[in-house]
């Protein structure tokens, strides 16, 4: 009995010592990450508000937002943030109200890397459950792949994500702002002050338990105190959807079914080189059907997109889809204000209202004249077969640009889910603190005149998430072919939803 009591006392002492050490470490980090004064926080918020007021083009995607009221609401919020990291998150949450993938905190101050940690935990949302998909190898004795997370810090996991993750996601696409997109692995769930602890309620095949994990994968790989921690890696480097589908370009060919498949995951220098490298094989085998998978292409540089498009549009002329931007005309705005404030509405001519009032209410737009370009790809090299493009809520920015440009080809069909809604050109604003804010300046329209600013819709809506979990590549390709054939057949018979 005495031995048991002794062990309990030792455990209590060690727990208290660990808690004290953690609190001291947290206090030290908090102290060192307080560089932005209250006055500067308010100034920077006002800069963001000003740029939104003059340049943001997508207020119709957030109809419940009153910009001035939201600005006043966030003034005390940013004032009361305890440290610079909280302040950064407050600015991001402020921007997320505008429901646009190009209206975000793009990067944080350089000194943050010394004070932030990453949680090596990836999950997926399936059958209304948050399931562990991958973990840091050093967590293997605490938690297992396949376990269900039921709570976080004593809060039901769905409630936790709705409080701590979803409000920080900038998108007009409801699919992208869902629990599925907010589960662990998303940036605002997976970053915290370094070595901060998180308590998870876990349901396993053997019962329930509570485990504590730490944000111990540090950002700065060169810092002396993080070299040891940064040797920590994920347990399973081939963890289904995360590594096999989200990050790697892939080319497959099925000569039996006359299909080729190419996955392009990023609009960078490999976008063009990987396509060209495999395009020769597509022509060599004369594949009459091509699947292009950009469902998780988050964008990059649009300059890498246009050369590829030239091979996939069988026209000499390649048109640009329409974009519009807001117009600020001070004189017209002033003329409108004189009527609005000093005249009754019925005293003002309708022609005057139509011409002047949009400038006062910030609804005046002008079309950007991008026009068209002449293809530099000879006719015999252009793809003549049918193209089936796979899209989804994680396809955004330059990835969406690629999708919209392809839609002018009559031989192209789109499958999957609506894209992220990160079209347009963002205005870059660098705040004195080092935070870089992007604010979208355009509205985008497809070749049928539909407003696609909130995302490009598929011709055939389908959830491919389960297919992406298939590890056998040929089996995965067969499933894609099956879905494409079935969806098209159903639509021909008028039963497509």
For the chain, which residues make up each domain, given as ranges? Answer: 38-107, 116-236, 244-324+369-492, 328-363
Own/partner long-range contacts of 252-257 (Cβ < 8 Å, ≥24 apart): 252/473, 252/474, 252/477, 253/281, 253/282, 253/285, 253/287, 254/474, 254/477, 254/478, 254/481, 255/285, 255/287, 257/289, 257/481
490 contacts: CB under 8 Å, gap ≥ 6: 496
Mean pLDDT of 132-141: 91
Domain spanning 244-324+369-492, CATH class: alpha beta
31 and 78 Cβ atoms separated by less than 8 Å: no
Please tell me the distance from the alpha carbon of residue 274 to that of residue 367, in angstroms, as a whole number. Answer: 34
Question: pLDDT grade, residue 17 (50/70/90)?
Answer: very low
Count of CA atoms in the C-beta half-sphere (13 A) of 114: 13
pLDDT in tens, 24-36: 555 556 667 899 9
pTM: 0.85
Determine the CATH number of domain 116-236.
2.30.42.10
The answer on pLDDT for 228 being more than 70 is no
Tokens describing residue 388: 């089936």
* pLDDT score recorded for residue 236: 78
- Residue range 451-470: mean pLDDT, rounded: 91
List residues bridging with 184 in a β-sheet: 186
Give helix 350-360 / helix 330-342 axis angle, nearest 10°. Answer: 120
Which region among 20-24, 269-273, 420-424 has the lowest average model confidence (pLDDT)? 20-24
pLDDT tier, 245 (very low <50, low <70, confident <90, very high otherwise): very low
What percent of the chain has pLDDT above 70? 86
Residue 305 structure tokens: 């997109």
- Assess whether the region 116-236 and the region 244-324+369-492 belong to the same CATH fold: no
- 105 contacts 91 by C-beta, under 8 angstroms: yes
- What the block records as the tokens of 134 is 């991958």
Which is nearest to 363 in space by CA: 2, 51, 60?
60
What percentage of the chain reaches a pLDDT higher than 90? 61
pLDDT score for 13: 45
- Antiparallel, parallel or unpaired: β 372-374 and 317-319: antiparallel
């Amino acid at each position: 009995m005495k031995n048991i009591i002794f062990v309990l006392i030792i455990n209590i002492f060690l727990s208290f010592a660990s808690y004290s050490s953690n609190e001291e470490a947290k206090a030290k980090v908090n102290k060192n990450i307080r560089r932005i004064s209250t006055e500067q926080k308010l100034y920077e918020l006002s800069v963001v508000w000003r740029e939104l007021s003059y340049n943001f083009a997508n207020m119709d995607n957030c109809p419940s937002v009153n910009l001035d009221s939201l600005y006043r609401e966030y003034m005390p919020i940013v004032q009361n943030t305890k440290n610079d990291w909280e302040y950064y998150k407050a600015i991001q949450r402020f921007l997320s109200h505008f429901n646009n993938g190009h209206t975000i905190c793009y990067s944080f101050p350089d000194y943050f890397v010394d004070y932030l940690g990453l949680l090596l935990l990836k999950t997926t949302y399936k059958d209304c459950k948050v399931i562990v998909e991958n973990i840091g190898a050093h967590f293997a004795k605490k938690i297992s792949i396949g376990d269900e997370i039921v709570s976080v810090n004593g809060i039901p996991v769905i409630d936790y994500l709705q409080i701590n993750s979803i409000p920080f996601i900038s998108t007009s696409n409801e699919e992208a702002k869902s629990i599925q997109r907010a589960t662990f692995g998303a940036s605002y769930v997976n970053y915290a002050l370094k070595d901060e602890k998180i308590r998870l309620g876990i349901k396993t095949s053997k019962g329930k338990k509570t485990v504590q994990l730490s944000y111990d994968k540090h950002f700065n790989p060169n810092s002396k105190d993080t070299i040891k921690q940064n040797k920590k890696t994920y347990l399973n480097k081939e963890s289904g959807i995360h590594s096999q589908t989200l990050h790697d370009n892939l080319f497959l060919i099925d000569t039996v079914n006359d299909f080729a498949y190419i996955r392009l995951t990023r609009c960078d220098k490999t976008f063009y080189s990987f396509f060209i490298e495999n395009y020769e094989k597509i022509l060599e085998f004369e594949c009459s059907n091509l699947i292009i998978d950009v469902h998780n292409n988050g964008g990059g540089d649009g300059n890498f997109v246009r050369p590829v498009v030239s091979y996939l549009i069988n026209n000499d002329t390649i048109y640009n889809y329409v974009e519009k931007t807001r117009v600020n005309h001070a004189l017209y705005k002033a003329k409108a204000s004189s009527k609005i404030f000093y005249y009754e509405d019925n005293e003002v001519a309708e022609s005057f209202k139509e011409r002047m009032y949009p400038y006062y209410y910030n609804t005046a737009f002008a079309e950007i004249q991008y026009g068209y370009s002449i293809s530099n790809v000879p006719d015999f090299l252009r793809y003549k077969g049918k193209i089936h493009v796979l899209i989804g809520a994680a396809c955004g920015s330059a990835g969406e640009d690629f999708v919209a440009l392809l839609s002018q080809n009559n031989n192209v069909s789109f499958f999957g889910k609506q894209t992220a809604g990160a079209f347009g050109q963002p205005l870059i604003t660098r705040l004195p603190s080092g935070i870089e804010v992007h604010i979208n300046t355009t509205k985008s329209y497809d070749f049928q005149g539909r407003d696609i600013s909130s995302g490009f819709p598929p011709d055939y809506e389908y959830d491919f998430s389960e297919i992406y979990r298939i590890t056998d590549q040929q089996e995965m390709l067969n499933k894609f072919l099956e879905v494409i054939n079935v969806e098209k057949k159903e639509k021909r018979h008028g039963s497509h939803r």
